[in-house]
């Protein structure tokens, strides 16, 4: 799980980890990176890795202080994680 925020988008180490995760996904032929965002910072950078992240479903936790908004976002991420786990178990 990758937490995206203004600070993480500007981190060189996050860029390395995301690039490594993309490589792992290509090798395994499955999704291993599940991004969630706390703000809109990931929506503007021009770096290739950020653009690749924008092409996928990013869990939206911008309204994490709102109980209902948080619950809805959490349930979506949980659903996606379960779906990925099920696909992986079917492959093996």
Q: Which residue has the tokens 């937490």?
A: 3
Please check the confidence at residue 5 and state whether its pLDDT lies above 90. Answer: yes
How many Å apart are CA 11 and CA 22, to the nearest integer? 17
* Interval 17-35 mean pLDDT: 92
Name 37's bridge partners.
4, 60
Q: How confident is the model at residue 86 (pLDDT cuts 50, 70, 90)?
A: confident
The whole-number pLDDT of residue 79 equals 87
How many domains does the structure of the chain reveal? 1
The whole-number pLDDT of residue 92 equals 65
Contact yes or no for 30/88 (Cβ under 8 A): yes
Q: Is the pTM of this model over 0.85?
A: no
CA separation, residue 29 to residues 35, 51, 55, 61, 87 (Å): 18, 20, 17, 27, 11
Please check the confidence at residue 52 and state whether its pLDDT lies above 70. Answer: yes
Domain of residue 65: give its range: 2-91
């Amino acid at each position: 799980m990758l937490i995206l925020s203004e600070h993480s988008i500007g981190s060189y180490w996050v860029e390395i980890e995301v690039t490594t995760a993309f490589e792992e996904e290509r090798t395994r032929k499955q999704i291993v990176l599940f991004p969630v965002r706390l703000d809109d910072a990931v929506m503007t950078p021009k770096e290739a890795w950020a653009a690749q992240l924008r092409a996928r479903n990013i869990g939206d936790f911008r309204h994490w202080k709102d109980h209902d908004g948080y619950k809805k976002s959490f349930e979506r991420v949980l659903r996606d994680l379960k779906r990925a786990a099920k696909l992986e178990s079917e492959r093996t």
